[in-house]
Chains A and B, each alone.
Chain A
């Protein structure tokens, strides 16, 4: 939804205005209209604003800026900007094959809050570890990277379909028997991008 944050802000401002009326002029509650006003201000609008706000935060968490706001992700952010055409993240990011504002989420669509319940619990675990636990020195995916993350863009693309190697192993690519990363193996080379 476009302008979601602004819409939530508008609902919040109107709700606070109505709440101020109820709190500062309680006499309005003596009328039926006042009771309806109080119900809107103290129950309906806060629930609507909170629901929309939650949705806005979920959308925000898809943004590259959000992912890279944790300092442990900074090397992964740098891997988008390295001068190496063979590096997958850099090639996609620098050639605008992906939306730069959603660079992480485009290739990690089931990550943390956007997968199933297990993924959401993992997302909360990350928050816990970041603030209260110990972040592992080497950050790894919980399961092997699935070709689905590549094929949701490349499937049907002419450059992909006309490649002979892809055609030969297409069934294996579709079933994950062969990983795209077996050939395209330069992903996030974080160690070489971490400053000493």
Chain B
């Protein structure tokens, strides 16, 4: 058997018989994205920028705005911290454990993705609010907001970590054990580094989601300024009070946070893809061809 690997292929383009198709498709995509997403965002940015720095600064430094932004960032950070632990634990149980109804639980994780946020808030209010009957009442409290954010951000870390955990080569953990590492050490030094990019990706997405959340917090928080008013609700309030400039200014702050998060996730995804491609290459070399169908020849 020759030891030489297959010819390395630099990026190449297959000959395409219809050159018109890519042009049409590309043009339509750019046009659509611009009209739907880019144009409105540009208009918003331009409105704030053209309003001048003075007006921007006053809108952003007004105490209620500051309180809203600070509260949003603080609670989002808390929520994300809890998500990392709960999400990783959940992913671990879904991948490594086995019990009756596991598939049902796995499906359940996606519920916050499928459920409208207003309904999420309503359900939490129903059980953990004034007439919940459990004795717990988190309506109009920060705890209530945290609960709502935990609900809507639940799937993010779970779903990003789950596939990576599933693909993790158990042999690495076995090797660590054979070298004397205990369960916790193995987890800390072998598993966590492998799932770290996925975790970060999930954290970033969860954070962005929490910062911008509106539907689930608007009912449960009661939107008390300086107490439970989140940035998105503050913006909404400013608009209703006929202060679109103030709303736009704070929106720009959120927009910047979103963009930064987006770039972080994109960078992480590129790193994960590169890592996956390397693993895939190694796996392809090792793998024997698919086992033959029963009764078949070669």
Do the two chains belong together in a single complex? no
B residues in contact (CB < 8 Å) with A: none
